[in-house]
Amino acid sequence: MTTLKTKVAIIGAGSAGMRAYREVTKTTDDVLLIEDGPYGTTCARVGCMPSKLLIAAAEAAHAGSHTSPMGVTYDAPKIDGAAVMQRVQSERDRFVGFVEETVEGWPEQHRIRARATFETDTVLSLSDGRRVEAEAIIIATGSRSNILPFFENFGDRLIINDDVFSWDTLPGSVAVFGAGVIGLELGQALHRLGVRVSLFGRDNLVGPLSDPEVLAEANRLFTEEFDFHPHTDVQNHRRTDNGVAVDLVTEAGTQTLEYDYALIATGRRPNVDKLGLDNTTLDLDPRGVPIFDVQTGQCGTAPIFIAGDVNNIIPLLHEAADEGMTAGHNATHFPEIRRFVKSAPISVVFSDPQIMMVGETHRALTERDADFVTGAVDWSDQGRARVMGVNKGLLRVYGDRITGRFLGAEMIGPRAEHLAHLLAWSLQSRLTVSEMLERPFYHPVIEEGLRTALRILNANMQMGAMPPPRCIDCGPGA
């Protein structure tokens, strides 16, 4: 049996693994990047980028639907499903190609195409019969769709988001299970592209939202637009001759619904079950994920580090990249370990209206019994939003009653992706709400709605009125 020796072995060549590789190679060329699947990140291949391409097509199809109050009307859009999917796949392949070119451009002796499993904390067994002995190992194996057993009854008409992006054309109908980020984005996009869609959720949840008022507004908006069931009892999942069928149980009785496909979007699970972690000294959580330090990426006291979606915390590309950097640095310099500050939490759902969350959520603040107050703006009356005909949604911002510091926000409404960045930067800069209000707000812009919410928050914290412009020539106390 051939044994390869290396300073750092990285399992997985996705966003986290690639970033870890770059960090390791700043210090040493003694590294092995092990991947048993195709190169190309989840984001580029089946996640962020192809989904946004589908959403872009949906937005184009939907663009004229809200313009009649402005005196502008359009005929119903003609949607060429084959052309939609051709562009999705063409552009997706372009993004994936960039990733593949990057990885394949790295030295061949650094890359191994095989499956790796742990024999010990520092020894890996490869599916090609070889072994790897490493001074430190990074786990960056990502995640995959979580399919509950009863969904298997849908047979070959069960699909996940990966499958959507391989369609040659758009189907006639799809039942979507799960109102998280993936289910909401794809379900709404397919609806706007002319597919008959039913979205089945649980517990009235929408995406990652936790603020009861924002959540209620989101439920209202999406239920008004398409066949969204925020809390349902769906039984008897089954394959039929022409597709799939389910029984929807309501107070009015049981209704049988049929669709071409069942899209399962009920969360993701970390890829840890085939790593042989039982052969290590690591302590594992109930899902089999190693217990680790979020600021170092280190698993226990072992020379094993974890990064990206596999750690089962925040499955976002920028988080995976940051964690890959941390894991790469500490694996290279082990046993010297450094703690790295995490970026301000930020998440966006590219639905319409968009959803965003920044900092501590309403649920997190409530659970830790924080002394916080809120400010809010209803987008229905916000000036620029009304001008553009996108005046839907609600923004709620949270602040510390004692210190006046901004703590977080949840929102459904227009241009949420941009407001999220302003708030995340403010949070990471540790600004108080008063200091945020000292920053400029142009007129007329969506951001003025944010200012309204911050003014209300500032008043509710009893921090006084909005501060006046600072006087350059005034003396102390003037």
Give the number of domains in the chain: 3
Residue 470 lies in a domain: no
Residue 274 lies in a domain: yes
Query: Which residue type, as a one-letter code, is found at position 124?
Result: L
Please tell me whether residues 236 and 376 are part of one structural domain: no
Please answer whether residues 410 and 212 qualify as being in contact, where contact means their C-beta atoms are separated by less than 8 angstroms: no
CATH of the domain at 287: 3.50.50.60
Please tell me whether residues 274 and 251 are part of one structural domain: no
Residue 469 lies in a domain: no
CATH of the domain at 432: 3.30.390.30
3-state secondary structure of 196: strand
Please tell me whether residues 310 and 452 are part of one structural domain: no
Per-residue pLDDT of the chain (478 residues; tens, 9 = 90+): 799 999 999 999 999 999 999 999 999 999 999 999 888 788 888 888 999 999 999 999 998 888 888 999 888 899 999 999 999 999 999 999 999 999 999 999 999 999 999 999 999 999 999 999 999 999 999 999 999 999 999 999 999 999 999 999 999 999 999 999 999 999 999 999 999 999 999 999 999 999 999 999 999 999 999 999 999 999 999 999 999 999 999 888 999 999 999 999 999 999 999 999 999 999 999 999 999 999 999 999 999 999 999 998 888 888 999 999 999 999 999 999 999 999 999 999 999 999 999 999 999 999 999 999 999 999 999 999 999 999 999 999 999 999 999 999 999 999 999 999 999 999 999 999 999 999 999 999 999 999 999 999 999 998 665 566 677 777 665 5
Please tell me whether residues 129 and 159 are part of one structural domain: no
Q: What integer pLDDT is reported at residue 116 of this predicted model?
A: 98
Q: What integer pLDDT is reported at residue 468 of this predicted model?
A: 65
Please tell me whether residues 410 and 308 are part of one structural domain: no
Please tell me whether residues 8 and 133 are part of one structural domain: yes
Q: Which of 228, 243, 267 is the last residue of a domain?
A: 267
Please tell me whether residues 117 and 263 are part of one structural domain: no
Please tell me whether residues 111 and 216 are part of one structural domain: no
Q: Which of 301, 333, 365 is the last residue of a domain?
A: 333
| Tokens representing residue 173 in the block | 């109908």
Q: Which of 242, 267, 292 is the last residue of a domain?
A: 267
| Tokens representing residue 134 in the block | 């490493």
- Give this prediction's pTM: 0.94
Residue 358 lies in a domain: yes
Q: What integer pLDDT is reported at residue 54 of this predicted model?
A: 97
Q: What integer pLDDT is reported at residue 316 of this predicted model?
A: 86
Please tell me whether residues 36 and 47 are part of one structural domain: yes
Residue 341 lies in a domain: no
Q: What integer pLDDT is reported at residue 159 of this predicted model?
A: 97
Residue 254 lies in a domain: yes
* Segments forming the whole domain that contains residue 196: 149-267
Q: What integer pLDDT is reported at residue 466 of this predicted model?
A: 58
10 Å Cβ neighbour count for 296? 16
Please tell me whether residues 275 and 138 are part of one structural domain: yes
